A and B are shown apart, each in its own frame.
Chain A
Amino acid sequence: MSASGAFAQIFATLIGVALAPLLTGWLNQCRAWLQNRAAPPLMQPYRMLHKLFHKDVVLAHNASPLFRFAPYAVFGCMLLATAIIPSLSTDLPLSPAADALALVGVFGLARVFISLAAMDVGTAFGTLGGRREMLIGFLAEPALLIVIFTMALIAKSTSVTTIVETLAHHELVIYPSIAFAGIAFTMVSFAENARVPVDNPATHLELTMIHEAMILEYSGRHLALIEWAASLKLYAYSCLGIALFFPWGIAERDNLFALLAALPLLVMKLALGGACVALIETINAKMRIFRAPEFLGTAFLLAVLGMLVNLLLEARA
């Protein structure tokens, strides 16, 4: 492990942890603009975290240790995911710890913890939210895995950093499979991050909420950690999307200057991506929960088509 690698790793992770709430704030701001509302300030998520960290924790009487442990576990999973995904540099000493498939597992682990914690106190909303989250998760995961298989087939490796390096250096070739995989990935990340066609992050209506229903019982620093982890998850998914489908400009081995140059580029890509997400959220209505399987089924279909097209049309190219 080189010194520059260690520096790139720590730098990228810290930037991720610091930038994640900003991305959420930017997204909320764009949404508000598009919907003709007065926008909350960009720094609102930081203020929220600050406020929550200074509040006392209120625990239910029958809360088990799992309930108190879950926010830390979820935050840890998201931190690991942020560290593995090459957002600024592909020279990451941590990346051999988990390839793209294990990354899906890390997201899955966080989901299991938060759902168990939601069911732990035994309120109706928590159980309902946890079950809905598992429904969405078990449909989204295969689609995400197949997207990753497609990219792995093109790059001949399941390591995220190798995939990014291969794609960034590829001569310009039109891959229909990457287009399919990209659309499927976008759909999956909307579902996974509780965004509008599947879940509304701003709602507290009992019939529709998924993510919010799970965290109703949390307060104080636990809630702060969960909110931060949600921001980190959005950031991690955005960075994964950027790394897989727009990998240009990500720094490589032993190049500190490129690392610094990659930062403004990443911020620019994230700002653009956030604006696009806000636009998609604004022009779509939230669908009924029973339509979510169909939505994710379409994502799965697109991902499988991408892989099949890759095998048939591009294998010999």
Chain B
Amino acid sequence: MSMLMAYSAQLINLCAAVILLLAFAMLAQRRVIHLIDLFALQGFALFVSTLLVAWKIGQSHLYYSAALTLVLKVWLLPWILHRLVRKLEIKSEVEALINIPTTTLVGIVLVVIAFNVATPISEMSSSVARGMLGIALATVLLAFLMMITRRKAITQVVGFLAMENGLFLAATSATYGMPMVVELGIALDVLIGVIILGVFFFQIRDQFDSLDIHHLEKLKEH
């Protein structure tokens, strides 16, 4: 047990690295179904890292947020998204505006920027996981990139959720988590957001016979 304690800081770093890797995998993923699975995996890595931070510093409220992550991001949200994909009968591949190798190269540049920006901030922080701040920022930027470069509404929603993962990671690493009220509020917001967007998907599809949000640019009053 004590050996695990000694390695916990390194394990937290490993989790952070895995989260970053999964962010890239999501950026490079072509299929919607796999994208959702990757999102669930990222949520699981986030759960493990939160659990480790909670255990290392012995703060009980972080256990609650870890449990919340597990229920919401590993089980509930992927389940809702899978159901949406099934109901909307989305089978096609993800359509990207820029081709995927270029997107990942842009992603590398974003990671370099994020690390550079985060280094002076994380030096001021004294928490166990200060190195993770750069990774959290990179995850947020990569999720942004995914939202920008994708056409279909559902991949944009996954991007939005992945961004929330990054923010959560930043909160855990820099300040040992947000107050419970804020965290619960965000979790509820995300959940409601996904449900509302799910309804939107049906509306968009009914209107245009497609989930390509490109059509939304041509909206006009008749």
Contact = CB atoms under 8 A, between A and B. Distances in A.
Interface of A: 173-174, 176-177, 179-180, 293-294, 297-298, 301-302, 304-305, 308-309, 311-314, 316-317
A305 B111 contact: yes
Chain B CB count within 10 A is highest, among A174, A298, A313, for A313
Contacts of B131: 312-313, 316
A174 B104 contact: no
A313 B138 CA distance: 14
A311 B105 CA distance: 19
B53 to A, nearest CB: 14
B17 A313 contact: yes
A313 B21 contact: no
A314 B12 CA distance: 12
Instruction: Determine the main DSSP class of B at the interface with A.
Output: helix
A176 B24 contact: no
B20 A174 contact: no
9 smallest A-B Cβ distances: which pairs?
A176-B17, A174-B10, A313-B131, A313-B13, A297-B101, A309-B17, A176-B14, A312-B134, A312-B115
Contact of B20 (A298, A305, A311): A305
Contacts of A304: 108
Contacts of A176: 13-14, 16-18
B59 interface: no
Contact of B14 (A174, A302, A308, A317): A174
Contacts of A298: 28, 104
A180 B17 contact: yes
B112 A313 contact: no
Given A294-B101, A301-B24, A313-B131, A308 B18 contact: no
Contacts of B18: 176
A297 B107 CA distance: 12
B119 interface: yes
Interface in B16-33: 16-18, 20-21, 24, 28
Nearest to A315: B131
Contacts of B14: 174, 176
Given A293-B101, A294-B101, A297-B104, A305 B115 contact: no
A117 B20 CA distance: 44
B36 interface: no
A301 B134 contact: no
7 contacts: A174-B13, A179-B17, A301-B24, A305-B108, A305-B111, A312-B118, A317-B10
B37 to A, nearest CB: 18
A314 B13 contact: yes
Contacts of B111: 305, 308
Interface in B69-113: 100-101, 104-105, 107-108, 111-112
A201 B13 CA distance: 40
A202 B134 CA distance: 46
B145 interface: no
Given A313-B13, A313-B131, A308 B21 contact: no
A204 B173 CA distance: 55
Nearest to B119: A312
Contacts of B134: 312
B40 interface: no
Contacts of B7: 174
Contacts of B161: none
B135 interface: yes
Given A294-B100, A304-B108, A305-B24, A313 B11 contact: no
A298 B118 CA distance: 25
B115 A180 contact: no
Given A294-B101, A297-B101, A308-B111, A180 B21 contact: yes
Interface string B1-17: 00000010011011011
Contacts of B119: 312
A177 B118 CA distance: 19
B120 to A, nearest CB: 13
Chain B CB count within 10 A is highest, among A301, A312, A313, for A312
Nearest to A294: B101
Nearest to B112: A308
Contacts of A301: 24, 104-105, 107-108
Nearest to B14: A176
Contacts of A297: 101, 104-105
A211 to B, nearest CB: 24
A150 to B, nearest CB: 13
